[in-house]
Amino acid sequence: MKNLITIAVVVVVGLVAFNYFQTGEFKIMPGSSMTEEEQAVNRLRGEFRRATQEYRQAGRSAGLAGLDTTSDAGAALASAEGVERDLKKMRKEVKEPGVKKEIDDLLAEIKTFKESVS
């Protein structure tokens, strides 16, 4: 019985973590009540978070093992720039103020990331 409860807890925590990295929200199941624009912003947020994670992992690999990870870091930065470009394009087309604020917040986060790696 303990094993079954432990497995259930691990599955729920895994779902919450997965959904957080995909949507930026702590939920067991992603909300389907979001508009298409909100879903696109959340998808781009997930892509940006993966890119930052890949960049940091490249830095750790270079530091620990002395490996040349410049291509990994460059790919992660290119991915972040692609997300930034898509967000700027989307911002011009979006009418809803809440979505615009989310885009602006994510663009500010990207700017901070780019400044920290430069």
The 10s digit of each residue's pLDDT in 76-92 is 888 889 999 999 999 99
**How much is the pTM?**
0.65
Range of the domain at 67: 34-117
Sequence-distant (6+) residues with CB within 8 A of 11 are none
- Output the pLDDT for position 30: 59
Higher pLDDT among residues 39 and 109, named by residue: 109
- 21 and 77 housed in the same domain: no
- 55 and 98 housed in the same domain: yes
- 74 and 105 housed in the same domain: yes
- 55 and 65 housed in the same domain: yes
- 52 and 101 housed in the same domain: yes
- Output the pLDDT for position 29: 63
- 40 and 25 housed in the same domain: no
* Tens of pLDDT, residues 27-72: 666 555 677 888 888 899 999 999 898 888 877 776 666 665 577 7
- 4 and 48 housed in the same domain: no
- 45 and 92 housed in the same domain: yes
- 26 and 39 housed in the same domain: no
